[in-house]
Amino acid sequence: MTTSEAQTRSQAAARLRVAVPSVADRVAAELRLQLAEGRLLPGNRLTESTIAEELGVSRNTVREAFAELAAERLVVRHPNRGVFVASLAPGDIHDVYTVRRAIEVSAIRGGGGPERVAAVRAAVEEGKAAAAADDDEALGSANAHFHGAIVALAGSRRLDTIMSQVLAEMRLFFHKATVEADFYRGYLADNEEICAALEAGELDRAGRLLLAYLDRSEEKQTAVHGE
Amino acid sequence: MTTSEAQTRSQAAARLRVAVPSVADRVAAELRLQLAEGRLLPGNRLTESTIAEELGVSRNTVREAFAELAAERLVVRHPNRGVFVASLAPGDIHDVYTVRRAIEVSAIRGGGGPERVAAVRAAVEEGKAAAAADDDEALGSANAHFHGAIVALAGSRRLDTIMSQVLAEMRLFFHKATVEADFYRGYLADNEEICAALEAGELDRAGRLLLAYLDRSEEKQTAVHGE
DNA sequence: AATCGTCGGATTGTTGAACAATCGTCGCAA
DNA sequence: TTGCGACGATTGTTCAACAATCCGACGATT
């Protein structure tokens, strides 16, 4: 026991720290979860003392967690008024899609190695399986995986985190939009076609398809969430 | 005077709020400044109590400032060990340029309105003036303005903040590289050509030029900052 | 002499309490 | 109705304390 522990330690010395997440991180993770599940809705207020008591932590710790979430744009701080679950205005939707267009199209044009392309393919199949099982929840997450895999083609840690933040931000206001069952369903064919083009090495075409997809998706989102 | 102050304020606070930046924000700003000026070098350790005492604030406040800076990747937190000024490995340089390629090229391909193009032109002229005045410091910042203006073409708040973070990250390790006087000087012609293509509406050409520029820049950075 | 365990100092992580500053609201007066 | 001031609640910030953890030094064993 002690031996394996010591081994683990010495191995992890350089980069891979076996870091126990701090309490603040766990609080942030819990809030992130509630945000993703829609238990906290945009505009909701998060009171420090309430959350501190609910989770059995100090107010200062909650505060640190808020800082994390604010950096991820999941909540907004109104000075002296409190933090609120972020709510996206119509302009923000366009803004988010502008980021997605920049990142995803650039990533897919780079191509990426075979194993990364395989990850995209896996996400496509995951979506098909979810559709077959009629699992809307799984369908949505498969779609997120697909686009995450697209960005991962670039092999950039920074692009990956940016994308994951954008996806988290979108989940925030998808809860309202996803009530209609076949919201993602129409995108399955798109994903398949994009993936096929990617596998065939037709990067330019894949890029154009993806761009068109994003434009349509933005349009739909704007309409649904619309003002 | 009052005008510029008001502008700065309205930028900082999302709403029209006359929001006095919190103490934590001011601490973060101070540290950001020291980082940009090279008074804090990559790898340096930032001790909470020391900074708290130096700036006359509480340790908790310093802690919040650290959270901000960590979210911006300017510092890294080693759990239970402290926070250190971020240092970029060769891989990180490529990573940063991957983000820049995605964002800048996408933005320039979108074109943008005349006033935004004019901002790009202004940055080019600013660079020329700095070169004429032989002011290397101003030259570097003019170059940053140029690329910031490029991204601003897209008119996306999120892209703007991402870009500013990337630029801040780059400043971190530029202090070593910029010792040679004409580091940016060679880029003046590039900027002029890119700007001209943009003004002529030749967006595709502008995109290609920018891409080539970024590739060369990455190559040079990697060489200088060597392995 | 070299390696290993252990101890102690220093720093971080977290808590709890306190206080000032600020905001929203409610009631009251004109 | 409109304005105004006081109250209550919440945030912003500080302080002091303690546990947890890490680093380096010291000493013991081989």
Tens-digit pLDDT profile for residues B191-222: 999 999 999 999 999 999 999 999 999 998 88
Chain A residues with CB under 8 Å of B18 CB are none
Nucleotide with minimal C1' distance from the CA of A78 is D11
- Distance, CA of A29 to CA of A68 (rounded, Å): 10
- Residue A67 to chain B, least CA–CA distance (Å): 7
What integer best gives the mean pLDDT of chain B?
A: 87
pLDDT of residue A172: 86
Q: Protein A197 CA to nucleic acid D5 C1', in Å?
A: 70
Phi, psi of A143 (to 5 degrees): -65, -40
Residue A157, chain B, CB below 8 Å: the answer is yes
Phi, psi of B76 (to 5 degrees): -120, 145
- Distance, CA of A95 to CA of A210 (rounded, Å): 17
CA dihedral B78, B83, B85, B89 (to 10 degrees): 0
Label residue B76 by pLDDT band (50, 70, 90).
Answer: very high
What one-letter code names the amino acid at A177?
A
B22 touches strand C (CB under 7 A): no
Residue B25, chain A, CB below 8 Å: the answer is no
Give the residue among A35, A54, A33 at the shortest CA–CA distance from A43.
A35
CATH number of B2-85: 1.10.10.10
What residue of A is the nearest CA neighbor of B94? A156
Residue A218, chain B, CB below 8 Å: the answer is no
- Residue A158 to chain B, least CA–CA distance (Å): 7
DSSP conformational letter for B79: T
User: pLDDT (tens digit, 0 to 9) for every residue of chain A, 227 residues total?
Assistant: 333 333 333 332 233 446 688 999 999 999 999 998 889 999 999 999 999 999 999 999 999 999 999 999 999 999 999 999 999 888 999 999 999 999 999 999 998 899 999 999 999 999 999 999 988 888 889 999 999 999 999 999 999 999 999 999 998 877 765 555 566 778 899 999 999 999 999 999 999 999 999 999 999 888 887 65
Q: Protein A81 CA to nucleic acid C24 C1', in Å?
A: 10
Q: Which helix (H) or strand (E) holds B39?
A: none
Q: Which ranges in chain B are annotated with CATH 1.10.10.10?
A: 2-85
Label residue B108 by pLDDT band (50, 70, 90).
Answer: very high
Nucleotide with minimal C1' distance from the CA of B59 is D14
Residue A105, chain B, CB below 8 Å: the answer is yes
Q: Protein A73 CA to nucleic acid C20 C1', in Å?
A: 29
Whether B95 sits inside 8 A of A156 (CB atoms) is yes
Q: Protein B19 CA to nucleic acid D5 C1', in Å?
A: 24
Tokens for B88? 């970029």
Number of C-beta neighbours around residue A227 at 10 A = 6
Label residue B11 by pLDDT band (50, 70, 90).
Answer: very low
- Among B79, B96, B106, select the one facing A106 at the smallest CB separation: B106
Is residue B32 within 8 Å of residue B71, measured between CB atoms? no
* Class of the domain covering A19-85: mainly alpha
Only one residue has tokens 């997809």, namely A213
Label residue B134 by pLDDT band (50, 70, 90).
Answer: confident
pLDDT of residue A13: 29
pLDDT of residue A12: 29
Number of C-beta neighbours around residue A224 at 10 A = 16
Q: Which ranges in chain A are annotated with CATH 1.20.120.530?
A: 90-224
Q: Which ranges in chain A are annotated with CATH 1.10.10.10?
A: 19-85
Q: How many CB pairs under 8 A join A and B?
A: 76
pLDDT in tens, B14-63: 334 456 788 999 999 999 999 988 899 999 999 999 999 999 999 999 99
Strands A75-78 and A45-46: unpaired
Whether A63 sits inside 8 A of B64 (CB atoms) is yes
Give the residue among A70, A91, A85 at the shortest CA–CA distance from A37.
A85
Which of B99, B100, B151, B211 is most worth mutating to test chain A (most A CB atoms within 10 A of its CB)? B99
- Residue A145 to chain B, least CA–CA distance (Å): 20
Q: Is the pLDDT of residue B6 over 60?
A: no
Half-sphere exposure of B57 (CA within 13 A, CB side): 18
Which tops the pLDDT comparison, B226 or A20?
A20
- Distance, CA of A13 to CA of A19 (rounded, Å): 11
B90-224, what's its fold?
Four Helix Bundle (Hemerythrin (Met), subunit A) (1.20.120)
A17 touches strand C (CB under 7 A): no
